[in-house]
């Protein structure tokens, strides 16, 4: 199942999210069928992560963006469940600290980029600087509008330094967000997730969709592509993200480094 070509935002493509169905499942109709594919992908990711670490020539950076309740945490929990945590770090970007705010907007991002041989996952990212910052007018348009170019140059530099970048926009409908919010209110085990701030942000849905469309349109490049992941069905979301990661890592054609010389002469006593 090749999903990358179906879900990628091609460089220069003008994105209109209303034309992307968040219920799309690529012809799969049963959750159990998708879970079989997911299990195979999780096992394969374990193998590929080991190879990534051994070869030590590439790093993998996974960027997750979504509207509130879009499923960023769930994607990380399910897709990355089989990999070695020693070689993977998740960074969640919230409101900048005082120290971070005293630097340029990419300073804290660059510090979290994974080294060669490792996987880094961004739960939210530098794209907040053209999303929430834009929607709430935290800086003038003259400032945030220049950040698309800054981001593209930053990501290109990372790619030239051996970082493979995959960016996933988890696309849910407004009705699905409402249902997930209601589930958090109704389920005592999920009450801790309830955030009045998230509910307030829902009022800005259209503004956020416009901001996402511009980010996807202007910042999907050959070296750092965006993928629009239909995410109303969590099982398909997990399958799609895992499949694209597997396809991408396999495309690196990684190889184990050669063994040390005179290996056959080593005798254990």
Rounded to 5 degrees, what are φ and ψ at 114? -70, 145
**Model pLDDT for residues 10-51, shown as the tens digit of each residue:** 999 999 999 999 999 999 988 998 999 999 999 999 999 999
Percent of the chain's residues with pLDDT above 90: 90
> How is the chain split into domains, by residue range?
4-255
Q: Who contacts 204 (Cβ-Cβ below 8 Å, separation ≥6)?
A: 135, 136
**103/74 Cα distance (integer angstroms):** 31
Q: Is the pLDDT reported for residue 259 higher than 90? A: no
Q: Is the pLDDT reported for residue 79 higher than 90? A: yes
The mean pLDDT of 253-257, rounded to a whole number, is 95
Q: Where are the alpha helices (DSSP H) in the chain?
A: 4-7, 31-55, 72-79, 98-101, 107-111, 132-135, 141-144, 147-160, 174-186, 196-201, 205-218, 234-251
Tokens 């509910």, located at residue: 199
CATH architecture of 4-255: 3-Layer(aba) Sandwich (3.40)
The mean pLDDT of 177-191, rounded to a whole number, is 94
Residue 1 confidence (pLDDT): 63
Q: Is the pLDDT reported for residue 263 higher than 90? A: no
Using DSSP, state whether 229 is helix, strand or coil.
strand
The mean pLDDT of 149-173, rounded to a whole number, is 98
pTM, two decimal places:
0.96
Rounded to 5 degrees, what are φ and ψ at 79? -70, -40
Interhelix angle 31-55/72-79, nearest 10 degrees: 70
Residue 269 confidence (pLDDT): 81
Task: Give me 221's structure tokens.
Answer: 């490049």
The mean pLDDT of 211-226, rounded to a whole number, is 98
The string of DSSP letters for 29-50 reads: --HHHHHHHHHHHHHHHHHHHH
Q: Name the DSSP letter for residue 129.
A: G
Give the residue with greater pLDDT, 146 vs 2. Answer: 146
Rounded to 5 degrees, what are φ and ψ at 171? -95, 110
Mean of all residue pLDDT scores within the chain: 95
**Model pLDDT for residues 100-142, shown as the tens digit of each residue:** 999 999 999 999 999 999 999 999 999 999 999 999 999 999 9
């Amino acid at each position: 199942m090749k999903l990358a070509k179906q879900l990628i935002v091609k460089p220069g493509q003008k994105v209109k999210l209303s034309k992307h169905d968040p219920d799309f499942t690529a012809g799969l109709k049963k959750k159990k069928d998708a879970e079989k594919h997911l299990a195979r992908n999780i096992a394969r990711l374990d193998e590929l992560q080991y190879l990534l670490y051994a070869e030590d020539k590439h790093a993998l950076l996974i960027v997750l963006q979504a509207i509130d309740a879009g499923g960023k945490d769930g994607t990380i929990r399910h897709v990355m469940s089989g990999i070695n945590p020693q070689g993977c770090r998740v960074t969640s970007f919230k409101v900048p600290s005082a120290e971070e705010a005293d630097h340029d907007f990419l300073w804290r991002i660059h510090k979290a980029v994974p080294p060669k041989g490792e996987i880094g996952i961004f739960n939210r990212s530098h794209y907040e600087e053209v999303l929430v910052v834009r929607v709430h007018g935290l800086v003038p348009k003259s400032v945030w509008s220049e950040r698309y170019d800054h981001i593209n140059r930053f990501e290109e530099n990372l790619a030239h330094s051996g970082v493979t970048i995959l960016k996933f926009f988890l696309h849910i409908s407004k009705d699905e967000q409402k249902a997930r919010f209601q589930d958090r209110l109704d389920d005592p085990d999920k009450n801790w997730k309830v955030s009045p701030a998230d509910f307030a942000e829902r009022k800005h849905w259209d503004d956020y969709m416009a901001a996402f469309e511009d980010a996807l349109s202007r910042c999907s490049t050959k070296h750092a592509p965006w993928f629009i992941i239909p995410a109303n069905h969590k099982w398909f979301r997990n399958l799609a993200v895992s499949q694209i990661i597997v396809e991408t890592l396999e495309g690196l054609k990684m190889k184990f480094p050669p063994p040390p010389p005179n290996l056959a002469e080593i005798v254990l006593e």
